Amino acid sequence: MAGLKNLKKIRRIQIILLAFGALALSTALIGYAMQDGINYFRSPSQVLSEPPAEGEMFRIGGLVEAGSLLRGQGDTVSFAVTDTNVVVPVRYTGILPDLFAEGAGMVALGKMQGDTFIASEVLAKHDETYMPKEVIDALKEQGVYQPES
């Protein structure tokens, strides 16, 4: 009888250890899978002061510099994004949002190629008063944010 009770305790401990091992493995796999899905936001000043790693996907945001919007052949568009201190050239192939305009706030997802940010997605402000939170925070850090009246 005593041997049977010890066997049950050993099996119970083995099942608990196996469950903890499976939980740790699944947590590690989820973390590894999410690694590529995380995109950090950077202002143009941060991009130049701390250059991203080669091929790193990130979001850049700021204001579209006035006079920088150039439409190329087809859907290719070039413009510059600024936080009023630093200007980063951006190239995007695709259709820009309807509310995209010079002097307006924007956020783009992509990666650096040389000195140019190659955007795969561009987001623009929603209406006259909206600006992405990341852009507002970056402009406040620079001391140039002026809220809409």
Tally of CA atoms within 13 A in the half-sphere of 51 that contains its CB: 9
User: What are the tens digits of pLDDT across the range 59-73?
Assistant: 998 888 988 888 877
Which residue type occupies 5? K
Instruction: Output the pLDDT for position 84.
Output: 83
Determine the Cα–Cα distance for residues 27 and 42; give it in Å rounded to an integer: 28
The answer to pTM > 0.85 is: no
Using 50, 70 and 90 to split pLDDT, how confident is the model at 119? very high
